Each structure stands twice: as structure tokens, then as C-alpha cells.
Structure 1
Amino acid sequence: MAQPTPIRGLGPDSRLGDAARRILAGRLADVRKPEAGFQDAVDDASVHDMRVATRRLRAALKVFRSLGGMKKLERDVKRIQDALGGVRDVHVQSAWLESVARKASKNPQVRAGIQTLRKKRLSELETHETRLHAELERWMDRTVPRLLRKLDGLDDGHRFAGRRVRDALRQRLKRVQKGIDTYVDAADAASAHELRKELKRLRYELEIFQPAIRRTLDALLEVLVPLQDGLGELHDADVRLELFERLAAESAPRERKSARALLPLVREERTKRAAETAREVQRWRTEEIPKRLRRMLT
């Protein structure tokens, strides 16, 4: 995952308004960096980097929501994030199909069927890219200027960090713990996805408050990132499984045959990812990691 631009010169005693201006400006700059990758064609790396950056920007807008006027901006950022997500999903699934087709080189008929499935998936790309270009235009013409105007007016004399920050992060950890318990009780795609989202929110908030918790940030991320990454791979497997089950039931005969041939592979991959995630979740529970992390934030 691309790293956010470091925000220098902030500390726990910085003014909240100053911290908000500088962090939001840094997150906005990170979103704008990949814009050049959309000049001629939609570049896969630019889509990925910009999508991650928009998530971090939204997290910052939520953190500083108390300063006012952030909800509308947050919704505007989500519009482009969703458009980027539509393109990214097609890129991920088509790349997976291409890798599977190469492995199926000994069976030309299966390989041809897989390539047909990939072409069908790629045929959806134009629609998603059209939407993305429209949202990019809206982003540059409307959202960016509004965000910059908002930054100019931010002012709050409270301390950037302190008990309130640590209390908020401890509450986020409680929600992560609840998500872990829910996943253990019912390890399905929905509970895994919700837990993944809570972990992302925690990670992005930790990054925002890095100037206030430098000593604990590395330790927090050391245990958080492996579980988040595992849940991300599990989510990709769940999306594939849903897609191929639908294709196996609803596609044209040739595509349906290829989808059915691939379903065992997709299910096997999903089982493997679920087992890896279960081990990491069990580690979090056995070692009482959320409780330990909350103590670190005291």
C-alpha cells in the first residue's frame, strides 16, 4: 500500500486548526499525485494509488468533522473513490483471469474459455472508465477548489492531541474487537468485510495522529497490517467466488462451462485465504491484542 506524505512539524501541543489544515492539505496532495496517470489512458497503478489516497482523505475529513463543513466534502470524495473502485475491481479480476489462463496452457479449450471470460469482464471497463472520467472532471472543477477554500478557513485553538485523541482511538479499537468477535461467531464474507473496514479506519486514524503517538504507532501497525492485508486477500477471493458462481449459473454455454471449470480453484483459494485469516484472528484473540493496544494508548 502506498504510504501517505509525512506531515512534518506537528506535535501533541499543536493547534487543532493548524494540524487539520496541514494534514488535509497533505492528504489532498496525495490524491492529486496520480492524476497524471489519467491523461491518455486509465493507468492501473494510478487507479490503485488514487483510490487508497481518497480513503485516507475521507478518514481525515471524518477526524476533523468537528471543525464543521466536512460532511459534504466527504460525500464528494466518496463519489470519486467509488468510481475508482469500479475500475479497480475490473483490473483485479481480469489480471487474475489472465494468470489462471497462463496456468491452463495444457488445456487449450479451458484456456480459450477463460480468455472469453476475461474479455467479457474487460468489456465492462469502458462503462466504469467513462464514469471515472466524469467524476475526475467533477473532482478537479468542483471538489478540489471547495476543499482548498475550506482549508483556508480552518481555525481551532484546541490541542491537536491529548486524552480526546487517545479516547477516540480506544473506541475504534473496541469496534475492531467487536468485529473480530462477530467474525469468529460467523466467518462469512459480510463479517470479514466489516472487520476489514474497521481495521482500515483504525489504520488511517493512527496515521493521522502519528505526530501525537510516535512511540506506539510502529507497534500498533506491526500487528494491524498483517490482519488487514489478509482480510483484503480474502475479500478479493469472496468477490471472485460470487462472480464465478453467478457466471456458472447465468452465462452463455461456453462461458458457463469455463466458469464451472474454474469454480473448484476459486473455492480452494477462498478456503486457503479464510484459513490464513482465521489464524491471524485467533492470534489477536489469544494474545488479547486489542486490550494491549488500548493500554498502549493510555
Structure 2
Amino acid sequence: MFELSTDEKETLKIIADMGNKNISRRAMIILMTEADQKPENIAAEVDLTVKVVKRWQREFLKKRLGIFPDQTIAESSANVSVETLDVAQVPEHVEQATVVAESKSTTKPKPVKSKQKSRNSAQALLKTDDKATNVEHDQKTKEDKKEKAVKLSSSKDKPSKPATDEKKIGLEPTDTMAEAGRKVLAFYFESMVEHEPGTRLGEDIEALHDMRVATRRMRATFNVFGDAYKPKVIKPLLEGLKQTGRALGPVRDLDVFLEKLQHYHEALSEEGKQNLQPLIDILQTRRNKARRKMMKHLDSSAYRKFKKAVRKFVKSEGFGAKPVILGDNPEPNQLRHVAPTLIYGTYAKVRAYETVLDGAPINTLHQLRIASKRLRYTVEYLEEILGAEAKQIIEDVKTIQDHLGDLNDAAIASSIVQEIINKLEKKQPKTKQDLEQIKVYLQAKHDEQHELLISFPAAWERFNRPKFRTMLAKSIAVL
């Protein structure tokens, strides 16, 4: 899928041996991909879903080592010394479960592989490559190693494309709220349109995922910048985004459900597969129906008018903006003046949940997920004008968001499977269908919820630490 340079490979193996399991597994994905392992095999080894594996593969193609926080790259560079420049060993600490952002979101049928087996398998995978690289390093002089360490530290393994080639929103600290929001909306509107052809084609489920993400970011743009516009101007845009989200959402949700279910299905015996197939068939039928509705919306005149309205809005500077009070008593309107309030306001809403987390029901945790998503989006929108700490802040917030997202997915899946079981049981006297395997899958979803619930306090503790608040303050201090 891609080739790694020697420097990239060394850095990845050092990162894979670091203590942050979230970051470590990300490095393992890239190393195993370079070793020509299939996404399904990688997912099983690092205990993540195939979807997560493929996402990081795509991100690495775009950003190379830019998928890791600057702090992680700096730490890996510091570890490249005369003694440690030999290729780092595959980490001994890769585990099957974790409390970080990419925590387990697919429950696998038992028996589950032991931790030691997973470690040994991962080490065996890269054993040959490690030996070859170690021979190469043995031939280098200490001076060569020192020179490489300095070079690696300074370059941070730059991606194949210059950073300037990466798409950026283009925000400036002196932008007004209205024009900043317009830039953000334009950025994600372009992404939405870019992924529409792939969504229509339907061959790659990630195209729909990316299009849906873009529409969500567009809606969230108005949560952050909406007060800068006249309500009557943005109302039709919000309505169009709402309708489009409703069209895309059910298809995407069923795509995710089916992908996880297929992953579970593949590990069953032939009899188990046969008994679980009715559940897959029902969900596939629902997905096909939802896709027809989605296509009807994308082909509608309402959707075409919506896109036309957005294009006009993002290309017309000043259009729909509320008048700004200037003069001797001006109101804050530039990003550099308003951003601290925006960020700390959303952060306060997230942190407020610490008073109710003890024994909190899933509905409360779902609301926390929404609040954390708004914090992440706000920081992401403003990242270009914030300090370097913003990247790590986004990673930490994503930890909470993804953990709670997996919990929400498991809860919804349980509800849907239970509803299907109830319907099938009514027909059972006539069909004599064996529902035991479907019920086992339902129990697996309940078990997944339980695991995510009991591991959440540790994930929250990492997020709600003084270091995070320090990073937040430093990122804003540059304004």
C-alpha cells in the first residue's frame, strides 16, 4: 500500500514502543501495513476495527508522520541516540483492550486470543525486517548515527508532500467572526461536494462517511459562528444541512453496524454463520431501503437549491453578517478576541459533567459525547491560529469522544438487535428458526457496553488532568 523510508520506519518503531497505547497502536498499523498485512489481520492483532485501521492507513498516505502529535515525534527523535538508533523492537505492551480513543469497538466471538499470543504474532511479523535493518545499522559508524539523529530530530520525518500543499481553512487572528465562519463553511462544503460522487457510487463506504462528516462539520460551524449572521439568512442553510444529514445518517449507521457484524460473523463456525445470517439479511435490507431514500434526496431539487445557496453564501463576503459595533466602545468580533471565550465556553460544558459521572446512565454519557464533540470541532476550526498544543488537545478530546462513541454504537446495536429478535420470535412457530446465535451476539453487545462503561473513568481521568488545562491555556496564549 505504501513504502516507508528508513527514517520513517525507525521513528514508527520507537513510537510503537512508547507508553501511550493509542499512539502505539497507530504506529503498529502503519508498520504492519508496510509488511503487506491485510487490514483484517491488522485489526485482529491490534484489537481495533477494520474501519479504524483503514482510516489510519488513509491518513498516513496524506500526512505521513503528521498523523502523530508533534510532542510524540519530538520524543521519538530524542530517543534516537547512539545506543537506540538500532531498530526498536515491536512493543511488548500492545494489548487487546484499552481505554483510549481507539478503544475496542468490535466485540469478537470467544475464544479471545491471549495478550501474549498477540504480542508474539506481532513480533514475528516484523522479525525478518528487523534483522535486515539491524544488519544495515551495524555497518554504520557512530558519526553516521549521530548525524541521522540530528537530521531526524530537525526534520521530524517530513511527509512526501510539503505541509504547504495540505488543505487549510485559511483563518487569520484578525478575521471577523462572520468571515471566519464563512471560510470554515467553505472548507467543509468543498469536502462534502468532493465526496458526493463516491457516495452516489456506493462502492467505498468511506466516501459516505467523509461526506457525512463534512455535513456535520458544516452544521457545527453555525454552533460556533452562528451568532455573527442574520437568522433569516442562515435558516435555509441549516434546514438543508439537516435534511442532508437525515438522508446520509441512516445509511452510514447501518454501514458501520454491518461492518462490525461481518467482522464478528467471519470468526464463527459454519453453523454459527448460518444462524446469524438472518440478522445480516434484515440489516442489509434496511440499508438498501435507506440508501434509496438517500439517493432520492441527493437527486432532489431541494438538495440542488441547498448547494446553490451555500455556494452563494461562502463566495459573498459580508453576505448575511450582522452589523458590528465599532467606534470608541467596540464589541469583540475578531477571532483573536473571541476565540478564548469560544474554547473555554465549550470546555466548561464538557468539564461540568465531572459532577455527575459517578454511575451516570448511558443517556448522560451520550450528552457528554456531544459536548466533547463540540469542543473538538471548535478547537479544530481554530487550530490554525492557536499554539502548537492544539494538535494534542484535539487528540485528547478525541479519546473521550471515540470511547463514548463506541459505547453509543453498542447501545444502539443492542436496541436494534433486541427489536429484531422480538420480531423473529413472533414468526418462530412457523419458521422454526434458530435464534440462539443472534441472542449470543446481543449478549456480546451488552458485554461490550459493560467493558466500555467500566473503563471510561480511566479515559476521563486522562482527559481531565492538569496537563490538559495547561495545554489549553498555552494554545490560546499566542492570540
- How does the TM-score come out when normalised to structure 2? 0.56
1:33 correspondence with 2:222: no
Bigger share in helix? 1
Q: Which runs of 5+ in 2 are unaligned?
A: 1-54, 60-165, 325-331
Give the secondary structure class of the aligned counterpart of 2:172: coil
Q: Distance in 2 between matches of 1:151 and 1:237?
A: 38
> For residue 118 of structure 1, what is the aligned residue in structure 2?
280
Superposition RMSD in Å: 2.6
Of 253, 256, 262, which aligns to 1:89?
253
Deviations 1:102-133 (A, max 9, x none): 1112xx33321211110111111122112211
1:278 correspondence with 2:439: no
Q: Distance in 2 between matches of 1:39 and 1:265?
A: 33
Q: Distance in 1 between matches of 2:315 and 2:169?
A: 17
Q: Answer with 12-21 or 44-53: which moved more.
A: 12-21
- Equivalent runs, 1:189-228 vs 2, <5 Å: 189-228=362-401
Give the secondary structure class of the aligned counterpart of 2:389: helix
> For residue 304 of structure 2, what is the aligned residue in structure 1?
141
Aligned length: 293
Deviations 1:214-267 (A, max 9, x none): 333123113212111111111111112222233333324326433222233222
Q: Distance in 1 between matches of 2:450 and 2:467?
A: 25
> For residue 345 of structure 2, what is the aligned residue in structure 1?
171
Q: Answer with 153-162 or 12-21: which moved more.
A: 153-162
Give the secondary structure class of the aligned counterpart of 1:89: helix
Q: Distance in 2 between matches of 1:160 and 1:15?
A: 4
Tell me which of the two structures has the higher relative contact order, counting C-alpha pairs closer than 8 angstroms and 6 or more residues apart: 1
Of 417, 437, 450, which aligns to 1:258?
437
Residue 288 of structure 1 deviates from its aligned partner by 4.7
Percent sequence identity is 21
Of 99, 109, 113, which aligns to 2:271?
109
Q: Distance in 2 between matches of 1:290 and 1:251?
A: 49
Residue 173 of structure 1 deviates from its aligned partner by 0.6
- How does the TM-score come out when normalised to structure 1? 0.87
Give the secondary structure class of the aligned counterpart of 1:214: coil
1:150 correspondence with 2:309: no
Q: Which runs of 5+ in 1 are unaligned?
A: none
Aligned pair in 2 of structure 1 residues 40, 172: CA closer, same or farther (>3 Å)?
Answer: closer
Q: Distance in 2 between matches of 1:180 and 1:119?
A: 42
> For residue 247 of structure 1, what is the aligned residue in structure 2?
420
> For residue 21 of structure 1, what is the aligned residue in structure 2?
182
Residue 159 of structure 1 deviates from its aligned partner by 4.9
Residue 271 of structure 1 deviates from its aligned partner by 1.8
Deviations 1:114-161 (A, max 9, x none): 111101111111221122112223464111101112223342677531
